């Protein structure tokens, strides 16, 4: 190499080398039992790939107790969503691998094949449905208002006019406050606009609910006047000693589903069908109810 070509050729080579050294791992999974035993692994779609490799890659946000959090002693994730995802994998006959990307990466679709499904208490909205497939809801959470324990002025949405309200960004609570939230109670139903009962809110977004709760806990009106989040999350915060309380009735109920990327390179329709069936099974045989009782203390898996 002459002095001329050396610098930039080597630059390109270095980049190519590093990029080439990367890439996903291919591993042979254990022998398929469960549903995978009946799946044609030659079919060439996402379900086939999952069964063939014996791995279901699931995305989760591990900063979200009790849905998902890290047990530092075992180095494992735990929580309601974790249990649901693990059970699904078991019934498929494969093992689980976890990814923990940022939430807005998950809801945006275009996962580039990094993970197969999202079991992350995701609400079905029309915008998300454009980039993601949704299964039958596996449970429903009420969206609730929390204020600081010392607050005496706020008893419901009417009292929140013009107040600073903390929500997690790109979550349904965010859309609700903006007045753009549309929910269908199941993937096939018509989305209904949920009218916001809160006039003129001062919306403060966070990358995750727990941070918003922490800010609320600083003091009544110190940073926030209220937080809107999932009722179980707020309850968990209260149970661990955060100085907040829940006020008013639930603003709305969100159906929460498992999501799959529409932009997946491998066709995902068969996977979504299988997941749908599994979720229904787990509703019928009481698995979901059992998990709900374990993690939330109430049965959130039905709307009754």
Partner 1 sequence: MRTEEAGAGRTARPPTGRRSGGLRERLELGTARIPFRVKLGLVWIGIFVVLGILFALARFDTPWLRQHYWFIFRGLPWTVAISVMAIALASILALLGALGRISKNSIAVGLTGFYTSFFRGTPLIVQMFLIYLALPQVGIALGGPWARTLTLDPLRAGVIALGLNYGAYMTEIFRAGIQSVGHGQSEAAESLGMTYRQKMRRIVLPQAVRVIIPPTGNEFIAMMKDSALVSFLGTVVAQMEIFRRAQLLGRRDFRPLEALLAAAVMYWVLTTVFQYFQGRLERRLSRGYVREVAGKPEVPPH
Q: Which residue has the tokens 């494969």?
A: 94
Helix (H, G, I), strand (E, B) or coil at 228: strand
Greatest extent of the chain over all pairs of C-alpha atoms, in Å: 78
Asked if 105 interacts with partner 1 (CB under 8 A), we say yes
Q: Which of 119, 167, 213, 275 binds partner 1 (CB under 8 A)?
A: 213
From residue 265 to residue 304, the character string flagging contacts with partner 1 as x (rule: CB under 8 A) and all else as - is x---------------------------------------
What values do phi and psi take at 251, rounded to 5? -75, -40
Classify residue 12 as exposed, middle or buried by CB count within 10 Å of its CB (0-12, 13-18, 19+). Answer: exposed
Residue of 34, 113, 142, 221 that binds partner 1 (CB under 8 A): 113
Q: Is 114 in the site for partner 1 (CB under 8 A)?
A: yes
Two structure tokens written together for 60: 């989760």
Q: How far is the CB of 209 from partner 1 (least distance, A)?
A: 9
Beta strands in the chain (DSSP E): 55-59, 63-64, 68-71, 76-78, 95-99, 117-123, 132-134, 139-148, 164-168, 182-183, 192-193, 202-206, 226-230, 244-261
Q: Does 126 bind partner 1 (CB under 8 A)?
A: no
Rule CB under 8 A: say whether 102 interacts with partner 1: yes
List 180, 185, 211, 270, residue binding partner 1 (CB under 8 A): 211
Q: What count of Cα atoms within 13 Å lies in the side-chain half-sphere of residue 69?
A: 13
Q: Of these, 75, 152, 190, 304, which contacts partner 1 (CB under 8 A)?
A: 75
> How far is it, in rounded angstroms, from Cα 111 to Cα 107?
9
Edge-first strand listing for the sheet containing 76-78:
63-64, 68-71, 76-78
How far is the CA of 164 from the CAs of 160, 169, 204, 221, 242, in angstroms? 8, 14, 7, 8, 19
Question: Considering beta carbons, is residue 19 or 130 the nearer one to partner 1?
Answer: 19
Per-residue contact flags (x/-) with partner 1 for residues 11 to 40, judged by CB under 8 A:
x--x---xxx-xxx----------------
User: How far apart (Å, rounded) are the C-alpha atoms in residues 234 and 65?
Assistant: 10
By CB under 8 A, what part of segment 221-250 binds partner 1? 237, 240-242
Query: Residue from 30, 33, 37, 110 that binds partner 1 (CB under 8 A)?
Result: 110
- The piece of 94-102, 118-126, 175-183, 294-302 that touches partner 1 (CB under 8 A) is 94-102
Q: How many positions of this chain bind partner 1 (CB under 8 A)? A: 46
Positions touching partner 1 (CB under 8 A) are 2-8, 10-11, 14, 18-20, 22-24, 62-63, 65, 69-70, 72, 75-77, 98-102, 105, 110, 112-114, 208, 210-211, 213-214, 217, 237, 240-242, 265
């Amino acid at each position: 190499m002459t002095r001329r070509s050396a610098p930039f050729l080597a630059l390109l080579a270095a980049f190519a080398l590093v990029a080439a050294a990367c890439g996903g791992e291919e591993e042979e999974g254990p022998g398929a039992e469960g549903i995978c035993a009946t799946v044609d692994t030659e079919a060439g779609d996402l379900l086939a790939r999952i069964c063939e490799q014996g791995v279901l890659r699931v995305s989760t946000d591990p900063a979200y107790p009790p849905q998902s959090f890290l047990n530092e002693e075992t180095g494992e994730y735990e929580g309601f969503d974790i249990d649901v995802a693990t059970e699904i994998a078991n019934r498929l006959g494969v093992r689980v691998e976890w990814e923990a990307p940022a939430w807005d990466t998950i809801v945006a679709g275009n996962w580039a094949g990094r993970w197969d499904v999202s079991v992350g208490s995701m609400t079905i909205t029309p915008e998300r449905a454009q980039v993601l497939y949704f299964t039958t809801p596996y449970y429903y959470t009420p969206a609730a208002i929390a204020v600081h324990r010392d607050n005496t002025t706020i008893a419901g949405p009417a009292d929140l006019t013009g107040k600073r309200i903390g929500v997690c960004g790109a979550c349904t609570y965010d859309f609700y406050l903006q007045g753009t939230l549309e929910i269908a109670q199941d993937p096939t139903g018509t989305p209904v606009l949920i009218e916001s009962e809160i006039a003129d809110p001062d919306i403060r977004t966070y990358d995750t609910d727990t941070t918003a709760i922490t800010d609320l806990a600083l003091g009544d009106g110190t940073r926030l006047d209220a937080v809107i989040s999932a009722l179980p999350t707020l309850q968990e915060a209260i149970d661990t000693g955060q100085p907040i309380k829940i006020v008013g009735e639930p603003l709305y109920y969100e159906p929460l589903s498992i999501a799959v990327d529409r932009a997946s390179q491998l066709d995902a329709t068969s996977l979504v069908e299988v997941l749908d069936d599994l979720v229904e099974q787990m509703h019928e045989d009481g698995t979901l109810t059992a998990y709900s009782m374990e993690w939330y203390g109430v049965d959130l898996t039905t709307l009754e």
